[in-house]
Amino acid sequence: MLTIKNLTANVDSKEILRGVDLDVKAGEVHAIMGPNGSGKSTLAHILSGRDGYEVTGGEILYKGQDLLRLETEERAQQGIFLAMQYPVELPGVNNMTFLRESMNAIRRSRHEAEIDAVSFMKLVREKAASVKFDQKLLKRSVNAGFSGGEKKRNEILQMAMLEPYLAILDETDSGLDIDALRTVADGVNLLRSPERSMIVVTHYQRLLEYIEPDHVHVLAGGRIIRSGGKELALELEAKGYGWLLEEAAA
Amino acid sequence: MNQQFKDYSQVVSQYIGNLPNDGGDWLVAQRSSAAERFTELGFPHAKLEAWKYTGIEGLLKQGFETLDKSPEFAEHAVLNQFLPEPVAGRLVFVDGVYQADLSTCDAVGITVGNLRSAMAASDRTVLEAIGSLSGVGDHGFAALNLATVHDGAVIRVAAKTSLEQPVELLHMATKSAEGQALRSRHLVMLETGASANLIERYVALDGVAYFNNLVCEISLAQGARLTHQRVQHESPKAYHLSDIHLGLQADARYHGINAAVGAAWSRTVIHNRFLDRGASCELDGIYLAGDGQLTDFHLDVDHAVPHCDSRESFKGILHGAGKAVFDGLIQVREQAQKSQAHLHNANLMLSRQAEIDTKPQLVILADDVQCSHGTTVGQLDPQAVFYLRSRGIDEQLARHLLCLGFASEVIDRFESETLRLQLTEVIRQQVRG
């Protein structure tokens, strides 16, 4: 699904990623953990094509093609989805319109027919119920005046509607209380499938209690310094990042 | 300029001179004083504060003339412009000429007609109402309008009549409007406790150049309510000038929802006078300006009596080399205690070449009032554009959706679904991110 080879990248001429390697196969869930400032969000943003990041070396292959050559919208059209740490408010843009325009943009890019209004309404109600997203919020402007939990649930709803092949969850747990975290995680778990891969970026192990990863990677100082199974997350929870950083420095 | 002014003055005196002398036009006295006023004022110029950013050189260069000629048009072209919603009445003007055959009114308690017929019938109410709110004219074009007015709509709603369906006032310009100065004057009068909804539209069939110079006087008697949806969607080569004068008696409520999306040059001035306590005036507006376009809104809300409320909310989208002018003046006079006045103007700039000159002005002389004003000038949020793109929407559509989102707050206030859809479509087509 996704192969990252020796990726290096700068932000404002400062080297943030210093050689990241990662291989994500279809159906796998990878957790990327690490201390603040380790480059986790930078990696998520580069995958989604956000401006402001300069890739200085290495490559990213998504389904065998060079991901970095694709525009942000082309990546989304080809099945990459980024659930954002800080979902943006879009005053005046109706949530339903937003979802429908997104779905249709993706369908058009795949030469599929646009979804008709009735089927869309049925689908959006069904998906909203499955991720426990308040139906009333569908009629409001995207994220405008939503609580932190509602914004994150809206991200998961979008993901459920767009059915990506590769979903990247950037600190989806930040700012959520335990109940909100659980509903968001339930929503994500519903979307797990053998065709869909996920990269879960998080600072804390907490989220991984609900979304069980197949692989855990620790990103520090712009490199993956340790990879392991889900037990690595537990070890980090118990011992913090300090020991790993020391080992890496040694 | 001087030569042009002489030409215009000559045209005006000729026009008045040629009017029938048989009493069919009892505006003669008013026309003459307006002509004098025009000679006195001349054309507006940049040294006048109200015209500082709204040049008229292009307008004068066109040398528009007033010709009393009948428009040539295909009836279906006009019918196509009718709103599909059922209406209580409809008044149609083509190239400024009243079309009795296309105008209708079946509802009880409302009289619609045209100014010329009212003049022919020596209707005293109409005679007294002309100029009662506007005066002879506070700038040259307004004086010119009164001096040479051709025709216009007269809409009267009887006391306690409540019209559920809107009244449509449609102006259409056709090819035969080319080079013409159209001068219409509308009167809207709601008697005590009457309630109505007026949809006033300016549309054009072709890319014709003409000058629509309008004055509209609206008086609301005690407790009357008017919702006024107004769309300026003139030809891209047209010039449009509207002076709207509102007079609100006790507990009257006026809500104006304005859109200015057409014309090469347009200026809309809304004067509101509160004449007694408890009245309310709400004004919403959306304007667009792109390459070669200038769009101007001037508001003049005068709180001269206590216990009245006003709210103004205008939004502008400027793209290409478009230029807009917004001037919102609210005066709260010394005796106007317990006034509430809130003014907001927001502008979205989509290009570096676009220009906005915005000036909110609050002049408050009373001390027990609630007033606020705010202005913003900004660009599309790159984070928002990215957010939409990350969901598969290409950049152009993303920018369109965000522009529509910006405008929707005003567009959603139009009660007519057709108008909401039309305006959304205009923004979709015209606004280039």
Average pLDDT in the B271-281 region? 98
CATH class of A2-249: alpha beta
* B167-192: pLDDT as tens digits: 999 999 999 999 999 999 999 999 99
Statement: residue B3 has pLDDT above 70: no
Q: What is the mean pLDDT of residues A155-159?
A: 95
Q: Using N-to-C axis directions, what is the helix angle for A95-109 and B395-411, rounded to 10°?
A: 160
Residues of A with Cβ-Cβ distance to B381 under 8 angstroms: 88
By a Cβ cutoff of 8 Å, what residues of chain A touch chain B? 48-51, 71-73, 75-77, 81-82, 84, 87-94, 97-98, 101-102, 105-106, 109, 141, 158, 162
Instruction: Flag if B402 and A84 touch (Cβ within 8 Å).
Output: no
ipTM of the complex: 0.95
Q: Is the pLDDT of residue B17 over 60?
A: yes
- Compute the mean pLDDT over every residue in chain B, rounded to the nearest whole number: 92
User: Helix (H, G, I), strand (E, B), or coil: what is residue B162?
Assistant: strand
Pick the residue from chain B with its C-alpha nearest to A155: B391
Residues on chain B touching A48 (C-beta within 8 angstroms): 390
B388 inside 8 A of chain A by CB: yes
Q: What is the pLDDT of residue B278?
A: 97
- Summarised one tens digit per residue, pLDDT across range B400-429 is 999 999 999 999 999 999 999 999 999 988
In a domain, B327, yes or no: no
Least confident of A159-168, B20-29, B72-81, B239-248: B20-29
CA dihedral of B202, B204, B208, B214, whole degrees rounded to 10: -20
In the predicted model, what is the mean pLDDT of residues B289-300? Answer: 96
Which structural domain, as residue segments, surrounds residue B90? 2-276
* Strand partners for B89: B105, B167
Please write the tens of the pLDDT for every residue from B331-390.
999 999 999 999 999 999 999 999 999 999 999 999 999 999 999 999 999 999 999 999
Residue with more model confidence, B374 or A37: B374
Interval B4-24 mean pLDDT: 69
Of the candidates B386, B394, B404, the beta carbon closest to that of A50 is on B386
Task: Please report the pLDDT score of residue B63 as a whole number.
Answer: 82
Q: Is B393 exposed, middle or buried (0-12, 13-18, 19+ CB in 10 A)?
A: buried
Residue A73 has pLDDT above 70, yes or no: yes
Spell out which residues of chain A touch residue B395, defining contact as CB-CB under 8 Å.
73
> Lowest-confidence range among A190-194, B147-151, B163-167, B260-264?
B147-151
Instruction: Judge whether B427 lies within some domain.
Output: no
Judge whether B289 and B318 are in contact, CB under 8 Å.
Answer: yes
- pLDDT (0 to 100) of residue B367: 93
Is B401 close to A51, i.e. CB distance below 8 A? no
Measured in angstroms, the CA of A226 and the nearest CA of chain B are apart by: 30
Question: Does residue B117 lie in a domain region?
Answer: yes
> Is B288 domain-assigned?
no
> Above 70 in pLDDT, residue B289?
yes
Are the Cβ atoms of A105 and B402 closer than 8 angstroms?
no
Confidence check: pLDDT of B67 > 80: no
Q: Please, which pLDDT band fits residue B73 given cuts at 50, 70 and 90?
A: confident
Q: How far apart are the first and last CA of chain A?
A: 33
Domains: count for chain B: 1
Q: Which residue of B has its CA nearest to A110?
A: B392
Residue B23 has pLDDT above 70, yes or no: no
Q: What is the pLDDT of residue B21?
A: 53
User: Pick from A90, A106, A109: which is nearest to B384 by CB?
Assistant: A90
Measured CA to CA, the distance from residue A90 to residue B66 in angstroms comes to 48
Does any domain span residue B289? no
pLDDT at A112: 95
Token representation of residue B431:
């606004």
Q: Do B381 and A88 touch (CB under 8 A)?
A: yes
- In-domain check, residue B351: no
Task: Give pLDDT, residue B66.
Answer: 76
**Percentage of residues of chain B with pLDDT beyond 70:** 97
| pLDDT greater than 90 at residue A204 | no
Tell whether B408 lies on the interface with A, counting CB pairs under 8 A.
Answer: yes
